[in-house]
Chain A
């Protein structure tokens, strides 16, 4: 099933000066939505060839972190470099040039609802290349085949299930063979089979393209088998990080809570709020 990946056409020449410099480097990155500080000093490195997972509780700022790396948001302090370029200082044109070599999988797929599955996957190819229509067709069918949805090419996004939509979005995100892939919860809503296949796909795509991938996920077990490095985010900071082996063996209370899915522990389950009891004064004890 994955044979076709080997044939993926390299549309953008891979940077031949592949250095051992990290592809993504965050150094003390801060970010706030208005007054609310979401990230307070994130240090994180992604090397070429690596698949890195970011884990953390809901609302801990993982999506925000991904958006910062993609240049959709700008850090309020700290340094964020992608492929050696300072994301804080990029012009729009330079940012777009960089983004042509990035792919992002959105949490809910974000397929274009006015286009068929085929046209969705063809969209980046049509916008950014002058490839002839037949070649685009072959490329699109190959990408769709890789996510197991070649048969769904003619469907509209409204006719897909959530998991199928995410796989189509994955095919679209890798259409231009990016050097950096950003995945926002690629496994959410997938059945165990699709989940396993998507996981392998992310790994193989990454290795076939010599790319790097950053993956936000809640699925600890699935990702530990797949990634090279894991960062745990909580309350805007990296609280733990390590290779999967280190993570499994870790007795850090945070990591332990996460890996073993315990409700009690350092990861707050509640959004910051006054204690519930103080709001229930009117209820007679």
Chain B
């Protein structure tokens, strides 16, 4: 009986704590939006973060995109040739990347490469009292530090996802056309004929924007909210990567169910 109440109490505390954090995060999000003006008025602040989050993630995104494309080419050819439709390899590679793999895998990579770095940076600034010092200088740390990093991530993410998809399609083409010998003309013309701009490309872009918002928000929030100790920062980084991955996959399901209902 005692053990049961203890478990119940723990569950209740967890739920209350989770709810409290969710509310706090929502308020934090509103504050970030409210103090975002400076990120656009003083563009260099945000450009710097686009450089750190976006440009410095390029290598891992491009290399991963290439490999995912290579694998898609192999697997796609293997499956499609069973139905005698290996000409459709282009469609399959392009649709998988544009609709799903581009936004999702790029999002996961972005969270672990750039999101964790943002959390670490903000967390360390908090730990070393830099945020407090800034606040004491009458400079709002949310406007000066958090918002530019948030927008830097939001802007970088769709661009990275697009480059991931482009690189993936190139990888699929390398395997399918160059290595295996699928007809080059069929590969591209089938792709061009079947990929719909609104249905496929735009929906993929929307996904990557949503993931960008989610990952960037989680990253800045975890950094800002961390316990100001070495251990607190390391836990915050872990939470950024884990929650971002969960958020991306869950959001992907929700978005997919709205976008592609087999209609």
B130 neighbours in A (Cβ, 8 Å)? 110-113
Report B134-155 CB contacts with A as 1/0, cut-off 8 Å: 1111111000100000000000
Whether B129 pairs with A127 at a CB distance below 8 angstroms is no
Among candidates B121, B128, B136, B139, residue contacting A104 with C-beta atoms closer than 8 Å: B136
B214 part of interface (Cβ distance < 8 Å): no
Given A113-B124, A113-B128: A106 in contact with B139 (beta carbons within 8 A): no
Instruction: Say which residue of B121, B125, B136, B140 sits within 8 Å of A70 (CB atoms).
Output: B136
**Quick check: is A269 within 8 A (CB to CB) of the other chain?**
no
A22 interface residue per 8 A CB criterion: no
Chain A residues within an 8 Å CB radius of B144: 127
Cβ contact within 8 Å between A110 and B128: yes
Contact A123 B137 (CB under 8 A): yes
On chain A, the number of residues with a Cβ less than 8 Å from chain B's Cβ atoms is 21
Q: How many Å lie between the Cα of A128 and that of B134 in the bound state?
A: 12
Q: Is B30 an interface residue (CB 8 A)?
A: no
Nearest neighbor of B137 in chain A, beta-carbon distance: A124
Say yes or no: B128 contacts A100, CB within 8 Å.
Answer: no
B132 within 8 A of A: yes
Q: How far is the CA of A112 from the CA of B135 in the complex (A)?
A: 12
Query: Which residues of A are found within 8 Å of B129, using beta-carbon distances?
Result: 106-108, 110
Interface of B is mostly: helix
B48 (CB) vs chain A CBs: closest residue: A114
Q: Indicate if the CB atoms of A96 and B138 lie closer than 8 Å.
A: yes
Interface residues in A219-246 by Cβ distance below 8 A to B read none
B133 in contact (CB, < 8 A): yes
The minimal Cβ–Cβ distance linking A131 to chain B, given in whole angstroms, is 16
Query: Does A72 lie within 8 Å of B138, measured CB to CB?
Result: no
Closest to B129 in A: A110
A99 within 8 A of B: yes
A102 within 8 A of partner (CB): yes
**Apart from A70-B136, A99-B137, A108-B128, what are 17 other A-B pairs with CB-CB below 8 Å?**
A72-B132, A72-B136, A97-B138, A99-B136, A100-B137, A100-B138, A104-B136, A106-B129, A108-B129, A110-B128, A110-B129, A110-B132, A124-B137, A124-B139, A127-B137, A127-B139, A127-B144
A-B contact pairs, 25 of them (CB 8 A): A70-B136, A72-B132, A72-B136, A99-B138, A100-B138, A106-B133, A107-B129, A108-B128, A108-B129, A110-B128, A110-B129, A110-B130, A110-B132, A110-B133, A112-B125, A112-B130, A113-B124, A113-B128, A123-B139, A124-B137, A127-B137, A127-B139, A127-B144, A128-B137, A128-B139
Residues of B bordering A, CB below 8 Å:
121, 124-125, 128-130, 132-140, 144
